[in-house]
Amino acid sequence: MIAELDIAKRDLEKNGYLNIDVDPSLDLFEEIEKLKKEKNAILLAHYYQESEIQDIADYIGDSLGLSQMAAKTEADIIVFAGVHFMAETAKMLSPHKKVLLPDLKAGCSLADSCPAPLFRKFKEKHPDHIVVSYVNTTAEMKTLTDICCTSTNAVHIIESIPKGQPIIFAPDINLGKYLVKKTGRDMVLWNGACMVHEIFSNEKITKLMLRYPNAKFIAHPECEAHILEKADFVGSTTGLLNYTINDEATEFIVATEAGILHQMEKRSPHKTFIPAPPDNACACNDCPHMKLNTMEKLYLCMKHETPEIVLPEWVIKKGVKSIDRMLEISAKAGL
């Protein structure tokens, strides 16, 4: 086992995770629970994680809820079942804690669509603008950002900025266009997008709406404008979940990553949830990055306390200011 562990640790960078066989007879729920207690670790999971991971998490939430939890937890170790930028955000908010991510290759197409060196040049062309970045960015991008936002608080963040102040919004062009429409602010937009939310098929959604005439169509603001125009409700993952709980409809067509359907079904077992189909052969839309995390990788990373998120001190010090500002504005708005 020691030799196997040494090899796995050596190959961590190549694989992104500890590549060690896990005894299939182990009850991973029980083992993970034990490790949480032994190590005073908290397990935070995003709604797009596979169902089993959601079921064992101490807290399940959207990007805002997860960062609020990472800022206030008293645990010694934060285990982040989500993607890389989320774990980095947790590390920036709790720099003295150990932050673990089961698979370091769990990235984000949206964060990748905005490399910090390119953005720096773009920002130089707009010296009077302040930068609002969606939290789906690298830690380095956060050092170039004045205020972060998530889909839950984006409208409040934009509206908190004085009217005459020009704004750059990065990196999601779809959320950016939605915010321009919603707030009436004319922002300079970076041209990035999420691979999961930009491939919903208008045609297949129209057909589903005809097949389920009583269903409400709900969508995440990372979707393209022509999809959002059809929606009865647009909101963050938490916003969508709450809408399905509180609305009287019993059928919903859901245009976001399919992982959220697990919580929707748990919270409203008598209602029907239909994932909106993408423009390919699949019936629902999974984020390949989010789904890199598995129960086995989660167990191994908690047992051996690796892979760990490590960031340069200057990045933490400079970048965290944009996250702190977001959390302050959100708290004032009661979010």
- In the complex, which residues of this chain contact ligand SF4 (CB under 6 A)? 48, 83, 108-110, 136, 194-196, 257, 287, 289-290
Our finding on whether 330 is near ligand 13P (CB under 6 A) is: no
User: Read out DSSP for 268-290?
Assistant: -TTSEEEEPPBSSS-SS---TTG
Q: Token pair for residue 267?
A: 């919270």
> What is the helix (H) or strand (E) element at residue 134, kind and residue range?
strand 130-134
Q: Give 48 or 119: the residue with its C-beta nearer to ligand SF4.
A: 48
Which strands sit side by side in the sheet containing 147-149, from one edge to the other?
147-149, 130-134, 167-170, 188-189
Q: What is the dihedral of CA 248, 252, 258, 262, to 10 degrees?
A: 40
Write down the least CB distance from residue 214 to ligand 13P, Å: 26
Q: Token pair for residue 142?
A: 């956060």
**Given 150, 244, 263, 330, the residue binding ligand 13P (CB under 6 A):** 150
**Given 50, 62, 88, 103, the residue binding ligand 13P (CB under 6 A):** 62
Helix, strand, coil shares of the chain, percent, nearest 5, are: 45, 15, 40
User: Are 306 and 24 within 8 A, CB to CB?
Assistant: no
Of ligand 13P, ligand SF4, none, which one sits near residue 189, judging by CB under 5 to 8 A according to partner kind? none
User: Read out DSSP for 145-205?
Assistant: -SEEE-TTTHHHHHHTS-TTS-EEEESBHHHHHHHHHHH----EE--B--TTTT-B-HHHH
Q: Give 68 or 151: the residue with its C-beta nearer to ligand 13P.
A: 151
Which residue type occupies 205? I
User: Are 254 and 233 within 8 A, CB to CB?
Assistant: no
Our finding on whether 151 is near ligand 13P (CB under 6 A) is: yes
Q: Give 221 or 319: the residue with its C-beta nearer to ligand SF4.
A: 221
Burial (CB count <10 Å: 0-12, 13-18, 19+), residue 22: middle
Our finding on whether 306 is near ligand 13P (CB under 6 A) is: no
Write down the least CB distance from residue 272 to ligand 13P, Å: 22
Strands 233-234 and 98-100: unpaired
DSSP 24: T
Q: Give 67 or 306: the residue with its C-beta nearer to ligand 13P.
A: 67
Of ligand 13P, ligand SF4, none, which one sits near residue 63, judging by CB under 5 to 8 A according to partner kind? ligand 13P
Residues within window 108-147 making contact with ligand 13P, judged by CB under 6 A: 136
Binding mask 224-243 for ligand 13P (x = CB under 6 A): ------------xx------
Residues within window 168-197 making contact with ligand 13P, judged by CB under 6 A: 194
Of ligand SF4, ligand 13P, none, which one sits near residue 133, judging by CB under 5 to 8 A according to partner kind? none
Of ligand SF4, ligand 13P, none, which one sits near residue 236, judging by CB under 5 to 8 A according to partner kind? ligand 13P
Neighbours of 163 (CB within 10 A): 7
Q: Give 260 or 300: the residue with its C-beta nearer to ligand 13P.
A: 260
Of ligand 13P, ligand SF4, none, which one sits near residue 195, judging by CB under 5 to 8 A according to partner kind? ligand SF4
For residue 277, whether the previous peptide bond is cis, meaning omega lies within 30 degrees of 0, is: no
Of ligand SF4, ligand 13P, none, which one sits near residue 289, judging by CB under 5 to 8 A according to partner kind? ligand SF4
Of ligand SF4, ligand 13P, none, which one sits near residue 174, judging by CB under 5 to 8 A according to partner kind? none
Our finding on whether 293 is near ligand 13P (CB under 6 A) is: no
Q: Token pair for residue 258?
A: 């399919």
Q: Which positions lie near ligand 13P, rule CB under 6 A?
A: 62-63, 136, 150-151, 194, 222, 236-237
